[in-house]
């Protein structure tokens, strides 16, 4: 168990980025993938022009690819930001403006998972103020996700690469998941288990899987060190994915790794040789 019986999707915001956005779905399909996920593609536009949304929708549909995961607006990704929903002022406003836009776009493509990145701590702002704002925004996002029959995902990042983000452990992410579900009564908030981030935090991945598989709505992988393809680092990813399946997780596993110096189309040898 592991690679051979896992449902993989490819993240088009970290792989195939050598191509323009609208060419990536077809490239993923040519590499053998029928499912894809995306960070919010318009980093400066929480509410892009309808023509841009339509163009991306058509590119995904024309390629025969199914969108299975989408981030809400999260600021500069990749870049200095780690989300927007806990940041008072303009960033929170942008997140709120994006909620229904992202949900409607996801619904138009049958996407059932929406990821809400928490955001960094801000100098001079009381963390409690940020956390109160974050819960308000996550409740709004959970309700929008529920409207389209989707799951709201809460992701733990890693402290070495995201030192200002307060959600840098599996238990902390689960705490937020529980708070959102308690506040809404909807039960549609779930944990996004990114094995790369958790390994960077030094967490025991077997323990995390055993403890939280039942609260997990999506999984992402990259090897560590390096955030490269499986086999480029030290993580026993096939064993970990097998453990997840035995624990009852049967959802998608997003490939969110860097292709290295080669074209993305050549970064999947580990999968075809498994």
Which residues are catalytic, by number?
A: 155, 256
Helix and strand tally (H, E) in the chain?
Answer: 9, 8
Give the H or E element holding residue 192. Answer: strand 189-194
For residue 122, how many other CB atoms are within 10 A of its CB? 16
For residue 51, how many other CB atoms are within 10 A of its CB? 8
User: Quick one: CA torsion of 271, 255, 207, 247, rounded to 10 degrees?
Assistant: -70
Could you tell me the two tokens for 189?
Answer: 């908030």
DSSP state of 22: G
Query: Residue-wise over 53-87: b if at least 16 C-beta within 10 A, else e?
Result: beebeebbeebebbbbbbbbbbbebeeebbbbbbb
Residue with token string 């040519």: 30
For residue 175, how many other CB atoms are within 10 A of its CB? 13
What CA–CA distance (Å, rounded) separates 177 from 209? 16
């Amino acid at each position: 168990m592991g690679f051979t019986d896992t449902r993989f999707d490819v993240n088009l915001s970290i792989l195939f980025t050598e191509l323009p956005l609208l060419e990536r779905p077809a490239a993923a399909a040519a590499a053998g993938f029928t499912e894809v996920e995306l960070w919010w593609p318009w980093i400066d536009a929480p509410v892009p022009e309808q023509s841009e949304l339509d163009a991306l929708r058509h590119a995904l549909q024309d390629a025969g690819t199914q969108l299975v995961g989408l981030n809400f607006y999260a600021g500069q990704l990749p870049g200095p930001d780690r989300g927007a929903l806990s940041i008072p002022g303009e960033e929170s406003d942008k997140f709120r403006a994006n909620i229904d836009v992202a949900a409607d776009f996801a619904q138009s493509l049958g996407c059932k998972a929406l990821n809400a990145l928490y955001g960094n701590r801000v100098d001079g702002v009381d963390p409690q103020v940020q956390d109160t704002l974050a819960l308000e925004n996550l409740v709004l996002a959970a309700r929008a996700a529920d409207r389209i029959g989707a799951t709201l995902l809460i992701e733990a990042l890693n402290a070495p690469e995201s030192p200002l983000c307060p959600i840098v452990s599996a238990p902390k992410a689960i705490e937020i998941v529980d708070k959102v579900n308690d506040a809404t009564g909807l039960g549609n908030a779930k944990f996004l288990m990114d094995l790369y981030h958790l390994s960077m935090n030094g967490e025991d991945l077997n323990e995390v899987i055993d403890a939280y598989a039942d609260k997990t709505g999506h999984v992402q992988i990259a090897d560590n060190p390096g955030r490269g393809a499986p086999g480029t680092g030290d993580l026993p990813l096939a064993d970990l994915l097998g453990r997840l399946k035995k624990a009852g997780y049967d959802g998608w596993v997003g490939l969110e790794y860097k292709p290295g110096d080669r074209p993305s189309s050549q970064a999947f040898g580990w999968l075809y040789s498994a």
